[in-house]
Amino acid sequence: MSPQQLSEVLRYYPETGHFYWKVWSPNTPTDRLAGTVSVHGRRVITYKGKKHYASRLAWALTHGDWPRHEIDHIDGDQLNDAIKNLRDVPRQTNQQNAKQCRADRRPLGIQPNGDGWMARLNLGAETVYLGTRPKMWQAGLLYLRAKRKMHAGNTL
CA quadruple 99, 100, 105, 107: dihedral, nearest 10 = 140
> Is it the case that residue 28 has pLDDT exceeding 80?
no
| Residues 47 and 116 placed together within one structural domain of the fold | no
| Residues 83 and 115 placed together within one structural domain of the fold | no
| Residues 107 and 70 placed together within one structural domain of the fold | no
Domain assignment present for 29: yes
Read off the pTM.
0.71
Residue numbers of the domain that contains 110: 98-150
| Residues 82 and 109 placed together within one structural domain of the fold | no
Domain boundary among the residues 73, 92, 111 is at 92
Report the CATH number that the domain containing residue 113 is assigned in CATH.
3.30.730
For 80-132, what is each residue's pLDDT tens digit? 999 999 999 888 777 766 665 555 667 778 889 988 999 998 877 888 999 99
Please state the rounded mean pLDDT for residues 2-30: 85
Domain assignment present for 155: no
| Residues 75 and 19 placed together within one structural domain of the fold | yes
Q: How many domains does the chain have?
A: 2
Whole-angstrom Cα distance, residue 101 to residue 106?
Answer: 6
Q: Are 51 and 45 in contact (CB under 8 A)?
A: yes
Q: Read off the pLDDT band of 33 (50, 70, 90).
A: confident
Q: Regarding predicted confidence, which is higher, 89 or 29?
A: 89
| Residues 23 and 85 placed together within one structural domain of the fold | yes
| Residues 35 and 110 placed together within one structural domain of the fold | no
